[in-house]
Amino acid sequence: MGIFNNIINIIYPPRCILCHGFISTHNTLGLCSDCYSGFHRISSPFCPICGIPFNGSGENHLCGRCLKKRPFFDTIKAPYIYEGKIKQAIYTLKYEKNTLVADIIGPIVAEFVCKQIGENKNITVVPVPLHPKRLRKRGFNQSLLIARHIADALDARMDFLSLRRIQNTMPQAMLDKKDRRKNIRGAFRVKGHEPFKEKTVLLVDDVATTTNTLNECARVLKKAGAQRVMCAVIARTHNTI
Ligand SMILES: [Zn+2]
Ligand SMILES: [Zn+2]
């Protein structure tokens, strides 16, 4: 097997998934060190609820928005700021439909989430669903691909059927702030017999920007009896616009 792999590596030397530069055969990450160092970790201080990072140094503290009105979710865990190479990786996954990216980023995010919340068999991992029409168009749900790695790492069960997207909303990026909230309201529904009653749910999405989508999912999940809704994303924007 070792010899076979060596021959494969000579014929097809491994390349970085983002910049396509050659990488060492010992690099199991699938990313070159330049690209990986272009993923910017979120560090304190940040808001412990919505995860938004603040400039400067100091303790974590609630942001003005969360102080004014608590969101329905309890917390968002995000390892990276949505910029640079991680933004490129998410674009490659979603729009160039390179699902190999999920196999590289997924374990990194899963390890981060595991460290943050600890192994927990009682968590139900729920990817933010796509509307069936968008799912058909893209061919896969990027949040589900990431959620799989998180569920594995937590040794938790995943439920990707009970939370449904019943409205095919406009992409949030095309709307202004006020319309984004309106756009997403009523877009999700819980199906089945009390699948989330008294459960702790870990919602998984690719990016958190306005957090309106996660908040609307959390509202619906809590209405369906979920006790706690935590969220995990690959990356989070600097602001909520
Ligand atoms: Zn690279
Ligand atoms: Zn906040």
Distance of CA 37 from the midpoint of ligand 2 (Å): 27
Alpha-carbon distances of 40 from 82, 90, 142, rounded to whole Å: 8, 14, 21
Looking at per-residue pLDDT, the higher value among 169 and 19 belongs to 19
Q: How confident is the model at residue 2 (pLDDT cuts 50, 70, 90)?
A: confident
pLDDT for residue 177: 72
> pLDDT at position 180, please?
75
Q: Compute the distance from residue 238 Cα to the ligand 2 centre, in Å.
A: 11
Ligand with minimal distance to 75 CA: 2
Question: Counting ligands in written order, which one lies closest to the CA of residue 51?
Answer: 2
Residue 16 has pLDDT above 80, yes or no: yes
Q: What is the pLDDT of residues 68-108, one digit of tens each?
A: 999 999 999 999 999 999 999 999 999 999 999 999 999 99
Determine the Cα–Cα distance for residues 205 and 126; give it in Å rounded to an integer: 9
pLDDT category at 172 given cuts 50, 70, 90 is: low
Give the Å distance between the CA of 26 and the centre of ligand 1. Answer: 15
Element (H, E) at 223: helix 212-223
Q: Measuring CA to CA, which residue among 37, 1, 12, 9 is closest to residue 25?
A: 9
Q: Determine the distance separating the centroid of ligand 1 and the alpha carbon of 31, expressed in angstroms.
A: 5
Ligand 1 midpoint to CA 35 (Å): 4
Taking the centre of ligand 2 as the mean of its atom positions, its distance from the CA of residue 64, in whole angstroms, is 7
Q: Which ligand is nearest to the CA of 32?
A: 1
Task: Tell me the CA–centroid distance for residue 33 and ligand 1, in Å.
Answer: 7
The rounded Å distance from CA 16 to ligand 1 centre is 5
The bound ligand whose nearest atom lies closest to the alpha carbon of 66 is 2
CA atoms of 121 and 156, how far apart (whole Å): 5
Determine the 3-state secondary structure of 147 from DSSP. Answer: helix
- Tell how far the Cα of 85 is from the centroid of ligand 1, in angstroms: 9
Are 160 and 144 spatial neighbours (Cβ–Cβ below 8 Å)?
yes
Q: Calculate how far, in angstroms, residue 163's C-alpha sits from the geometric centre of ligand 2.
A: 25
**Dist. CA 215 → ligand 2 center (Å):** 12
For residue 198, which of 216, 219, 224, 230 has the smallest C-alpha distance?
Answer: 224
CATH (one of 3.40.50.300, 1.10.357.10, 3.40.50.2020, 3.20.20.150) for 39-236: 3.40.50.2020
Q: Which helix (H) or strand (E) holds 212?
A: helix 212-223
Q: Where are the domains of the chain?
A: 1-37, 39-236
Return the DSSP state at 129. P
Residue 176 — very low, low, confident or very high, per pLDDT cuts 50/70/90?
confident
Q: Which ligand is nearest to the CA of 61?
A: 2
